[in-house]
Amino acid sequence: MRELRFAPSHNFSKPFFTAISLLREPLETFLREVHPRPSCMITDFCNWWTSEAARELKLPRFIFHGPCCFFILSSHNIYRHRAYDGVEDEFEPVVVPGLPQRIEVSRAQAPGWFAGWEEMQERVYRAEETAAGAVINTFHELEADYVELYAEATGKAVLPVGPLSLCNKDAASRAARGKASSVDEDEVSRWLDGMEPGSVLFVSFGSLVRTQPLQVIEIGRGLESSGRPFIWVIKEAERRCPEVEEWLSEGFEERTGARGMIVTGWAPQMVILSHPAVGGFVTHCGWNSMLESVSSGVPMITWPSFWTSSSTRSWWWKF
């Protein structure tokens, strides 16, 4: 039985985006006064109100998309072709129109940007139509077909400028990417230096996924049984679960010894993935994580965990 749950952040997202739209007038004032005058505007697609500011100032405006182009194109086509119209069962698979492969997805799996907020959704897509083009955190060699199809679908320029994570060139910048690390980056690097090239498995499920206690324990058992070196990132909330605390207290770290490192909280992911000792990455398939892994040449073991729409809603299922 599938159970649909909403993340707590959903209750605050709509007021948040509504509040941001009040920045239109201050933004226009700033852009009129700043020197030198901007030649264009690049804004997150969620900020539909910037289209009005750009029109007033006669500035070309490009939309920035953080997710992969496949996802952006699929969302665009589902919305434009009204693929879910007339489909009453939210778990009924629907073919995504306009893709070279046959991809089926249900409304429960991919309800679309701002689902349930129809007025805001319409504003967002109308603003997209007035944009000069889109800037996307991807690169052509990875998503060539989808970049070209998205350009055809919108009739606009599509500029793949990623992976944006590669702007972090030095070790300090890579370590600072994201939140402050919960572990000393130099300590992690020294530990990795002592491992054979390509021998370490990195296990991390990003910042949003919440792994069930029994799943956390099973992951730990698998790492222990593998006999391989590993870095395992566990969220503080997951580690505080009584079942997980009890299991860890029974000697997991002692049994795995020097071949294992547990990071509780935020890990310096770019530092880890770019180290030659890392040979694999178990990931929740977040786009930033996938780009960082691809950029570092690290193979992935993928465990897709949820669908999220620009932080407006998050869904996950129990089976």
pLDDT tens per residue across span 43-79? 998 899 999 999 999 999 999 999 999 999 998 999 8
pLDDT classification of 122: cutoffs 50, 70, 90 = confident
**What is the CATH class of 10-162?**
alpha beta
The residue among 175, 312, 187, 319 whose CA lies nearest residue 261 is: 187
pLDDT band at 196 (very low <50, low <70, confident <90, very high): very high
| Overall pTM > 0.95 | no
The residues spanned by each domain of the chain are 10-162, 169-315
Q: Is the pLDDT of residue 314 over 50?
A: no
Alpha-carbon distance of 39 to 263, in angstroms, equals 45
Question: What is the structure's pLDDT at 309?
Answer: 37
DSSP-assigned letters across all residues of 75-129 = HHHHHHTTTTTT---TTS-EEPTT-SS--EE-TTT---TTTT-HHHHHHHHHHHH
Q: Identify the pLDDT of residue 315.
A: 30
**For residue 201, pLDDT beyond 90:** yes
The pair of structure tokens assigned to 226 is 């593998």
272-307: pLDDT as tens digits: 999 999 999 999 989 999 999 999 999 999 988 755
- Identify the pLDDT of residue 171: 57
Q: Is the pLDDT of residue 13 over 50?
A: yes
Q: What is the mean pLDDT of residues 247-259?
A: 91
Is residue 76 within 8 Å of 69, Cβ to Cβ? no
- What's the whole-number average pLDDT of the chain? 85
CATH of region 169-315: 3.40.50.2000
Please indicate whether the domains covering 10-162 and 169-315 agree at the CATH topology level: yes
Q: Which residue's structure tokens are 């593998």? A: 226
